[in-house]
């Protein structure tokens, strides 16, 4: 089981030190929006084994990361790395969410680092010989990004983000659930100690929903600016989602180089012209770069006044806190 990539390491039980495996083929990975209970059909039928045993069977493929600030085409990018013979993209594995939750409940740092190393080794089992594994964690796991890079020193990463104005528009268009999500994110970031923007505790209760969205976005930018400085541009690069969608062929070629991968020019052209970049990553409906831009413009039209005011406020907050709105070490 532990050597078969069709047995997927779905959950981690810190009380017993067990990894829970479920059956999930490559086609199951493709069909799942995220690798979570909601989307994996065999999630209720796990088989457990010790992490130490499972980790010994892993670590056989190059492992790289797509970190992101949400609503920035990160799922699309992970799908783009489903390239048989080259790489496999993993979309928000639940097991990494488990480690983030364990950390929040008081996991000891050294023990967490040891378990993270083992879990990442299990995730690094390739679906086919010669393939790399590209993991897109949930942005809720971003507080562990530095640890992942530390315990896997041969791994590289890209931090993908939408420009602040685009992010605010995405949240506004999603209505109540988008606004609730950014508040949940802000609370989690506060508990992790990731927000340092010059406010006091009660100040956050007085923020509007889009201000809370901006706080979460700025906190992630501050953290990744520090990670870029710590690990250097040879290991971590940053990518604006508008540039990804504006020049997908050029950006994918640069990402392949950054991850030490290669594919023929005609195969790359077919990828960029194919369904990954022309369908919505969550529902497979037609949704190319023009459609994304039209949705963005419509959101700005409906919520322009609120977005303008919050964007200006966030710029002032960022300047005061020393947070860059455009990150250093761009991919190109």
Q: Give 93-144 pLDDT, tens digit per residue.
A: 999 999 999 999 999 999 999 999 999 999 999 999 899 999 999 999 999 9
Reading the block at residue 9, the tokens are 């390491």
With the C-alpha atoms ordered 104, 105, 106, 108, is the resulting torsion angle positive or negative?
Answer: negative
Residue 34, SS3 per DSSP: coil
Q: Assign 283 a pLDDT band (cuts: 50, 70, 90).
A: low
Q: Assign 279 a pLDDT band (cuts: 50, 70, 90).
A: confident
Residue 225 confidence (pLDDT): 96
Any alpha helices (H) in the chain, and if so which ranges? 26-31, 51-56, 74-80, 94-104, 109-123, 145-151, 164-173, 175-192, 209-231, 241-246, 248-258, 265-273, 289-321
Which residue(s) pair with 22 in the sheet? 8
Residue 130 confidence (pLDDT): 92
Tell me which of 326 and 280 has the higher pLDDT.
Answer: 326
Q: Assign 286 a pLDDT band (cuts: 50, 70, 90).
A: low
162-215: per-residue pLDDT in tens?
A: 999 999 999 999 989 999 999 999 999 999 999 999 998 889 989 999 999 999
Average pLDDT estimate for 246-260: 97
| Beta carbons of 187 and 195 less than 8 angstroms apart | no
Average pLDDT estimate for 210-235: 97
Given a cut of 80, is residue 253 above it in pLDDT?
yes
Given a cut of 70, is residue 58 above it in pLDDT?
no
Residue 200 confidence (pLDDT): 86
pTM equals 0.94
Q: How far apart are CA 174 and CA 178, in angstroms?
A: 5
| Among 89, 81, 111, 110, residue whose Cα is nearest residue 12 | 111
| Beta carbons of 39 and 33 less than 8 angstroms apart | yes
Residue 262 confidence (pLDDT): 94
């Amino acid at each position: 089981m532990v050597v078969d990539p069709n047995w997927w390491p779905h959950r981690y039980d810190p009380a017993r030190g067990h990894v829970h495996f479920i059956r999930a083929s490559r086609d199951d990975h493709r069909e799942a929006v995220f690798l979570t209970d909601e989307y994996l059909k065999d999630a209720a039928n796990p088989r457990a084994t010790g992490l130490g045993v499972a980790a010994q069977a892993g670590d056989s493929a190059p492992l790289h990361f797509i970190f992101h600030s949400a609503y920035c085409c990160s799922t699309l990018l992970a799908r783009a790395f489903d390239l048989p013979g080259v790489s496999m993209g993993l979309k928000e594995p639940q097991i990494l969410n488990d480690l983030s939750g364990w950390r929040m409940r008081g996991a000891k740092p050294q023990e967490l680092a040891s378990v993270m190393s083992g879990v990442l080794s299990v995730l690094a089992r390739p679906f086919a010989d010669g393939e790399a594994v590209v993991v897109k964690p949930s942005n809720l796991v971003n507080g562990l990004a530095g640890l992942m890079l530390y315990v896997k020193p041969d791994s590289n990463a890209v931090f993908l983000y939408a420009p602040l104005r685009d992010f605010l528009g995405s949240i506004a268009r999603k209505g109540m659930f988008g606004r609730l999500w950014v508040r949940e994110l802000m609370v989690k970031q506060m508990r992790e100690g990731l927000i340092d923007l010059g406010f006091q505790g009660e100040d956050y209760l007085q923020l509007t929903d889009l201000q809370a969205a901006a706080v979460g976005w700025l906190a992630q930018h501050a953290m990744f600016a520090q990670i870029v400085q710590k690990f250097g541009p040879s290991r971590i690069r940053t990518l604006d989602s508008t540039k990804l969608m504006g020049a997908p062929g050029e950006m994918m070629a640069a990402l392949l180089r950054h991850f030490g991968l290669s594919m023929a020019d005609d195969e790359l052209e077919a990828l960029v012209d194919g369904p990954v970049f022309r369908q919505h990553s969550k529902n497979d409906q037609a949704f190319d770069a023009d459609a994304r831009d039209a949705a963005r413009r419509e959101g700005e039209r409906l919520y322009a006044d609120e977005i303008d005011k919050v964007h200006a406020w966030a710029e002032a907050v960022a300047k005061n806190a020393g947070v860059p709105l455009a990150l250093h070490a761009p991919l190109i």
